């Protein structure tokens, strides 16, 4: 009913333009989450990932279209051996406080964030760094803890460069320890952070002295991030022009907003994938465990019409995946055994497995309940009757880790890392998420994770991904897509890594 009311308002307002942002060359964007610490390393919500790219630069720049690594604060890189990278640095770049950028800033940043008491939230982002050394004013060396080819992904992603000396400005917490999450937000990026109201808004102004880098000079003068928790309220605000840009718009509202004619509404792919895990390794310890039988797992793969779920429930930009990775990720291939929707074949396989009348099972899930319910519907048609155990992510994660969820439907975003090591290696190297426990797969993934030769990596990962699909302990389902809505006068291009680049946006 609430949706109908909002829908009525949307249609009633068709034709009322919202031009406030264009008039003063500002952009206001909102999501439902808060950003409490306006710094990279110490705040890991998606919104801060977005603002990190605006206020800070990284050594390398990952092209949003081609996913290639291009120079940014580093002009080049060289793998000296598989645990050492050397880089020359950009000259003539200044931080927002006027300090000149040089090797000292990179060395201090990396040594600080990789130290054990740094307080960095996502240890995975920095735990591969042993230390950094200065080789000259504009030359550095990074020493790795162990071979880690995904280093380039991290050097172009979360590893923002902060000015030297900034760490001394950290406040001391109640326990007498330095809290690095209190340092001032200073970077070299196209935007400067000008005002932070915790939990409410973060304002950024264009850096007029931004150097000539791959991000380009910013066009929009002021970008404001606001927290508006309720999706209905976000819709109301974008209709009145108080907001210029929102995302994660529910499908039905997105369709209504598209009819107003004043907004651009797009369904954009994301790097999040949906998957189903089946207990091939028998971790749940149950006596008659149907999931340990290959033919049962194959039956499930043939029983579910993944294409129908992707197109009808998720959105036009969602697509079915056949491999345990996101298609653009380094090392990912869709050239693996694929399973077509064929319910008759599914029933036949179940009968061959000893379940001519199907069987009952619990299915665990934690988000987009309607997707799991669609899966349950398809399974019921071939005789697999499922009982949904729907719960909060943290609760389900514990059950999965304990091996007590033999059949679960979950998702993984890879933290937008464009490398197979961020997903396949996470799930199939015999850790607590691994319901396959295949020793060959682990061996192949270890080779891929530690080699810096792209061909060796590609080949190893292909072997692992092929075996995973032969065994079907994972049924890759589809990619997630989300709806974005922005004012029509805004020239903005969304990207599948879920990192909106407001520094390239401009008013038409």
Partner 1 sequence: MLIYSLKRLGIAVLVAIAVSLITFSLLRLSGDPAAALAGESATQEDIEYVRKQYGLDRSLPVQYLDWAVKALQGDLGVSIYLKQPVIEVIKERAPVTMKLGGIALTFALLLSIPLGVLAAMRPNTIFDRAALTLAVFGQALPSFFFALILIVIFGVQLRWLPITGNASWQNYIMPAIALGYYATPAIMRLTRAGMMDVLASDYVRTARAKGLRPKVVLFKHALRNAVIPVVSVSAVQLGFMLGGSVVIETIFAINGLGRFAWQSIQRSDFQAMQAIVLTFAIFYVLATYFADLLNAFLDPRIRVTG
Q: Check binding of 177 to partner 1 (CB under 8 A).
A: no
> CB-wise, 81 or 117, nearer to partner 1?
117
Q: Which 8-state DSSP code applies to residue 32?
A: S
Q: Check binding of 261 to partner 1 (CB under 8 A).
A: no
> CB-wise, 228 or 464, nearer to partner 1?
228
Residues 113-142 binding partner 1 (CB under 8 A) are: 121-124
Q: Check binding of 199 to partner 1 (CB under 8 A).
A: yes
Q: Check binding of 5 to partner 1 (CB under 8 A).
A: yes
Residue whose token pair is 């060289």: 78
Query: Which pair of structure tokens corresponds to residue 288?
Result: 């008659």
Binding partner 1 by CB under 8 A: which of 242, 264, 284, 319? 242
Beta pairing class for 201-206 and 74-81: unpaired
Q: Check binding of 23 to partner 1 (CB under 8 A).
A: no
Of 179-187, 210-218, 374-382, 452-460: span binding partner 1 (CB under 8 A): 179-187
Q: Which residues pair with residue 320 across a beta bridge? A: 478
User: Which residues have a Cβ under 8 Å from the Cβ of 3 and sit 6 or more positions away?
Assistant: 250, 252, 253
The three-class DSSP label of residue 488 is coil
> CB-wise, 34 or 133, nearer to partner 1?
34
Binding partner 1 by CB under 8 A: which of 20, 170, 236, 456? 236
Residues 291-350 binding partner 1 (CB under 8 A) are: none
Q: Check binding of 240 to partner 1 (CB under 8 A).
A: yes
> CB-wise, 214 or 398, nearer to partner 1?
398
Q: Measured from the CB of residue 91, what is the shortest distance to partner 1 in angstroms? A: 36
Binding partner 1 by CB under 8 A: which of 228, 257, 317, 499? 228
Nearest CA-CA partner of 228 in 240, 246, 241: 246
> CB-wise, 342 or 433, nearer to partner 1?
433
Cβ-count burial 402-431 (b if 16+ within 10 Å, e if not): ebbbbbbbbbbbbbbbbbbbbbbbbbbbee
Report the distance separating Cα 231 and Cα 229, nearest Å: 7
Q: Check binding of 248 to partner 1 (CB under 8 A).
A: no
Rounded (10°) angle between helices 294-303 and 369-381? 110
> CB-wise, 31 or 469, nearer to partner 1?
31
Report the distance separating Cα 87 and Cα 141, nearest Å: 6
Residues 137-176 binding partner 1 (CB under 8 A) are: 173-174
> CB-wise, 236 or 353, nearer to partner 1?
236
CA atoms within 13 A on the CB side of 86: 8
> CB-wise, 105 or 449, nearer to partner 1?
449
Residues 378-417 binding partner 1 (CB under 8 A) are: 394-395, 397-398
Q: Check binding of 20 to partner 1 (CB under 8 A).
A: no
> CB-wise, 206 or 249, nearer to partner 1?
249
Nearest CA-CA partner of 315 in 277, 351, 269, 272: 269
> CB-wise, 233 or 284, nearer to partner 1?
233
Binding partner 1 by CB under 8 A: which of 131, 143, 182, 450? 182
The answer to whether the CB of 224 falls within 8 A of the CB of 28 is yes
121: exposed, middle or buried (C-beta count within 10 Å: 0-12, 13-18, 19+)? middle
Residues 31-50 binding partner 1 (CB under 8 A) are: 34, 36-37
Of 6-14, 207-215, 261-269, 332-340: span binding partner 1 (CB under 8 A): 6-14
Nearest CA-CA partner of 353 in 381, 382, 376: 382
Alpha carbon separation from 332 to 64, 318, 424, 449, 465 (Å, rounded)? 17, 18, 9, 13, 8
285: exposed, middle or buried (C-beta count within 10 Å: 0-12, 13-18, 19+)? exposed
Report the distance separating Cα 76 and Cα 86, nearest Å: 8
Of 30-38, 83-91, 291-299, 363-371: span binding partner 1 (CB under 8 A): 30-38
Q: Measured from the CB of residue 37, what is the shortest distance to partner 1 in angstroms? A: 6
> CB-wise, 354 or 398, nearer to partner 1?
398
Q: Check binding of 226 to partner 1 (CB under 8 A).
A: yes
- Please state, as a whole number, how many other Cβ atoms lie within 10 Å of the Cβ of residue 198: 12
Q: Under the rule (CB under 8 A), what is the footprint of partner 1?
A: 1-2, 5-6, 8-9, 12-13, 34, 36-37, 121-124, 173-174, 179, 181-182, 198-200, 226-230, 232-233, 236-237, 239-240, 242, 394-395, 397-398
């Amino acid at each position: 009913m609430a949706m109908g009311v909002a829908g009525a308002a949307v249609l009633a307002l068709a034709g009322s333009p919202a031009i406030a942002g264009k008039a003063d060359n500002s952009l206001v964007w909102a999501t439902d989450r808060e950003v409490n610490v306006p710094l990279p390393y110490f705040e890991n919500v998606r919104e801060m990932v977005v603002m990190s790219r605006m206020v800070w630069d990284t050594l390398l720049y990952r092209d949003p279209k081609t996913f290639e690594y291009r120079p940014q604060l580093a002009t080049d890189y060289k793998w000296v051996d598989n645990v050492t990278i050397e880089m020359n640095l950009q000259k003539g770049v200044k931080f927002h406080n006027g300090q000149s950028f040089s090797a000292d800033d990179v060395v201090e940043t990396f040594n600080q964030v990789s130290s054990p008491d740094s307080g960095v939230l996502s240890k995975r982002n920095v735990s591969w760094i042993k230390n950094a050394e200065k080789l000259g004013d504009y030359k550095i060396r990074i020493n790795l803890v162990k071979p880690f080819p995904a280093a380039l992904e991290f050097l172009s992603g979360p590893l923002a460069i902060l000015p030297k000396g900034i760490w001394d400005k950290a406040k001391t917490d109640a326990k007498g320890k330095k809290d690095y999450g209190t340092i001032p937000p200073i970077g070299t990026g196209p935007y400067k952070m000008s005002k932070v109201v915790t939990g409410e808004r973060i304002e950024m102004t264009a850096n007029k002295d931004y150097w000539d880098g791959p991000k380009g000079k910013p066009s929009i003068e002021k970008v404001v991030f606001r927290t508006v928790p309720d999706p209905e309220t976000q819709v109301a605000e974008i209709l009145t022009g108080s907001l210029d840009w929102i995302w994660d718009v529910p499908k039905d509202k997105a369709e209504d907003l598209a009819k107003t004619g004043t907004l651009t509404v797009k369904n954009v792919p994301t790097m999040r994938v949906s998957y189903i895990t089946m207990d091939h390794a028998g971790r749940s310890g149950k006596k008659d465990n149907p999931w340990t039988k290959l033919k049962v797992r194959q039956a499930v793969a043939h029983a579910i019409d993944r294409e129908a779920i992707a197109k009808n429930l998720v959105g036009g930009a969602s697509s079915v995946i056949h491999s345990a990775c996101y298609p653009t990720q380094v090392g990912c291939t869709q050239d693996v055994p694929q399973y077509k929707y064929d319910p008759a074949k599914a029933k036949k396989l179940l009968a061959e497995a000893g379940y001519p009348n199907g069987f009952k099972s619990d299915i665990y899930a934690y988000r987009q309940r309607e997707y799991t319910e669609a899966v349950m519907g398809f399974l019921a048609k071939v005789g697999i009757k499922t009982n949904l155990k729907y719960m909060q992510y943290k609760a389900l994660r514990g059950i999965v880790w304990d091996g007590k969820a033999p059949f679960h439907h979950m998702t993984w975003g890879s933290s937008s890392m464009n490398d197979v090591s961020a997903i396949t290696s996470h799930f199939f190297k015999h850790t607590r998420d691994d319901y396959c426990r295949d020793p060959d797969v682990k061996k192949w993934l270890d080779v891929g994770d530690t080699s810096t030769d792209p061909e060796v990596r590609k080949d190893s990962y292909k072997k692992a991904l092929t075996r995973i699909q032969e065994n079907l302990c994972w049924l890759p389902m589809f990619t997630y897509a989300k709806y974005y809505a922005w004012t029509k006068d805004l020239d903005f291009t969304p990207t599948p890594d879920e990192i909106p680049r407001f520094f390239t946006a401009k008013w038409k």
